[in-house]
Amino acid sequence: MEWPTAFSASAFVLSTFVAGAAVAASITNRDAHDQKVTVIEGESAKDHVLKPSAVLEGVCGKGCVVRLNDSVNDEYELEGNEVVSIEGGYLYYDGTDAPAEPQSSDGGKADSPKR
């Protein structure tokens, strides 16, 4: 294999790995007691017990349903890039796991018009 081809293949594998790792939900337990979280992806269901302040990361890579404390009334559908938290026994949306846009070093001021 020639060097440029090997480099291209390596770059593709690395970018696929990084992109795959970035697309997953995280769930934080902000309650003072344990919370049972069931993650349902397709036909597969996996139970997790989150201690207070614990974070469950890397779940729902392709979307899923999250159930709290075995209650079918407390089901939440996630796309896979959300950051959510449990507070008061409910799941709250905190944002997405998308990287923040780069900030300019000039404090966000617009450039002066060029003449």
Q: Check residue 72 and give its pLDDT.
A: 87
Cα separation, 52 vs 87, whole angstroms:
10
Q: What tens digit of pLDDT does each residue of 32-60 get?
A: 999 999 999 999 999 999 999 999 999 99
Segment-wise mean pLDDT, segments of 10 residues, the chain, 115 residues = 49 41 85 97 96 96 94 91 95 78 50 49
Q: Check residue 91 and give its pLDDT.
A: 95
CB 83 within 8 A of CB 96: yes
Cα separation, 91 vs 60, whole angstroms:
15
